[in-house]
């Protein structure tokens, strides 16, 4: 904690947040929101929450900015002029919001100090994780073990939420009926987009991005990272190619059917590892009993390996859903050449 850095970041963060809401041009708002996410990522790093910062950088500053821009392309760029309401209603709304704000601030004063050692989580929960994680699970990164083992049930449903979100986007936007309806047309945005420089560099960087993503997934036990971050980076490598070339280029390699299959497979891997533990006589998602079928593992190491399996499932789902959401938003559900 260096409070000077906190102060500088917060001084930039608050105007960014306000600008992202207030801007009338949606494209500028999307970019400002990306800047906000990046500053948030710096703040998380400053607070020592490196895993969260990693996610924020990959999801908030990376993919969601691209998704916002793709969505803006398919809608109006400027906010419609709102009909001005009566001043009485405005004042009423303002006073209601202000009153709630004051009540919340008042309630916040009853909260304990940030990271205070007296609060119940710091007295019972955190010390247990900090002292026991390594002997329980042989995983040095406490965040990974809490996420994938101690609270594995939560993470399973987080993965399902991502899966459901992707399905919802596909169901709302998808308009593809058959082969004949594909127009094969790029979305008109006024530019001829092909540039050999951009395409070559993106093509060159994509395999390394994917390699790095696999490293993030596999190395999540020892360093910041894990299934979510790795999956998002994997998805981003496909989205980068889709931006540099066109959507067809990516869909030829990972078509819609496969994104759907992979999204299912990822959640299934997670749930079936849990069910396997159940079959072997343990609790659901209790990986330690997996040592009975994994050769040459102690129950402690089995928990570590179980986490790895679960993280791989998460990564597969997240990657497939990211590509699916991008393909739907960028082509407005038509699966033509996209942005």
Partner 1 sequence: MILDTLTIVLLAAGFFFFFATTIGLLRFPGFYARMHAAGKGDTLSSLLMLAGLIVFNSHHFSVEALLVDLKIAFIMVFILMASPTATHAIIKAGYEAGLVQWQAEEEGKHDLAD
Residues in contact with partner 1 by the rule CB under 8 A: 190-192, 195, 197-198, 201-202, 204-205, 208
Minimum distance from residue 229 beta carbon to partner 1 (Å): 16
Angle between helices 26-46 and 64-73 (to 10 degrees): 170
Is 107 or 204 the residue whose CB approaches partner 1 more closely? 204
CA distance 140 to 148: 13
Is 122 or 200 the residue whose CB approaches partner 1 more closely? 200
Minimum distance from residue 270 beta carbon to partner 1 (Å): 30
Is 225 or 274 the residue whose CB approaches partner 1 more closely? 225
Is 198 or 300 the residue whose CB approaches partner 1 more closely? 198
Cα–Cα distances (Å) from 278 to 154, 300, 334, in that order, read 17, 17, 43
Is 223 or 272 the residue whose CB approaches partner 1 more closely? 223
CA distance 129 to 111: 23
Minimum distance from residue 208 beta carbon to partner 1 (Å): 8
Token pair belonging to 302: 């089995």
CA distance 6 to 48: 12
Minimum distance from residue 27 beta carbon to partner 1 (Å): 12
Backbone angles phi, psi at 33, to 5 degrees: -65, -35
Give every CB contact of residue 138 below 8 A, 6+ residues apart in sequence.
300, 301, 303, 304
Is 67 or 202 the residue whose CB approaches partner 1 more closely? 202
Minimum distance from residue 168 beta carbon to partner 1 (Å): 32
Token pair belonging to 240: 């980068």
Is 240 or 327 the residue whose CB approaches partner 1 more closely? 240
Minimum distance from residue 256 beta carbon to partner 1 (Å): 27
Is 120 or 190 the residue whose CB approaches partner 1 more closely? 190
CB 177 within 8 A of CB 331: no
Cα–Cα distances (Å) from 151 to 60, 142, 148, 294, 301, in that order, read 24, 12, 6, 22, 18
CA distance 123 to 2: 25
CA distance 132 to 209: 34
Helix ranges (H only) for the chain are: 3-22, 26-46, 50-55, 64-73, 87-108, 120, 126-137, 142-145, 152-173, 196-218, 227-244, 247-251, 256-279, 299-330
């Amino acid at each position: 904690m260096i409070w000077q850095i906190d102060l500088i970041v917060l001084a930039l963060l608050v105007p960014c947040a306000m600008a992202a809401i207030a801007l009338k041009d949606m494209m500028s708002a999307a970019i400002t929101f990306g800047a906000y996410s990046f500053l948030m990522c710096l703040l998380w790093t400053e607070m020592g929450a490196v895993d969260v910062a990693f996610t924020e950088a990959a999801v908030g500053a990376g993919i969601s900015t691209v998704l916002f821009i793709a969505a803006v392309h398919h809608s109006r760029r400027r906010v419609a002029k709102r009909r001005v309401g009566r001043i009485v209603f405005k004042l009423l709304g303002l006073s209601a919001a202000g009153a709630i704000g004051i009540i919340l601030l008042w309630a916040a004063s009853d909260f304990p100090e940030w990271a205070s050692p007296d609060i119940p989580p710091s007295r019972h929960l955190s010390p247990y994780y900090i002292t026991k994680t390594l002997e329980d699970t042989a995983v040095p990164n406490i965040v990974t073990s809490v996420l994938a083992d101690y609270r594995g049930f939560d993470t399973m449903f987080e993965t399902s939420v991502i899966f459901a979100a992707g399905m919802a986007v596909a169901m709302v936007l998808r308009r593809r009926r058959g082969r004949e309806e594909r127009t094969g047309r790029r979305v008109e945005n006024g530019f001829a987009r092909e540039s050999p420089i951009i395409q070559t560099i993106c093509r060159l960087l994509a395999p390394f991005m994917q390699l790095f993503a696999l490293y993030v997934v596999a190395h999540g036990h020892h360093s910041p990272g894990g299934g979510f971050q790795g999956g998002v980076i994997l998805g981003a490598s496909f989205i980068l190619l889709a931006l540099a070339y066109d959507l067809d280029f990516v869909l030829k390699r990972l078509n819609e059917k496969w994104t759907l299959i992979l999204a299912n497979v990822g959640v299934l891997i997670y749930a079936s590892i849990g069910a396997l533990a159940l079959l072997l006589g343990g609790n659901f998602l209790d990986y330690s009993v997996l040592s009975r079928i994994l050769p040459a593992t102690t129950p402690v190491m089995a928990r570590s390996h179980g986490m790895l399996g679960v993280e791989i499932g998460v990564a597969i789902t997240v990657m497939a859903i990211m590509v699916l959401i991008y393909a739907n938003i960028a082509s407005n559900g038509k699966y033509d050449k996209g942005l």
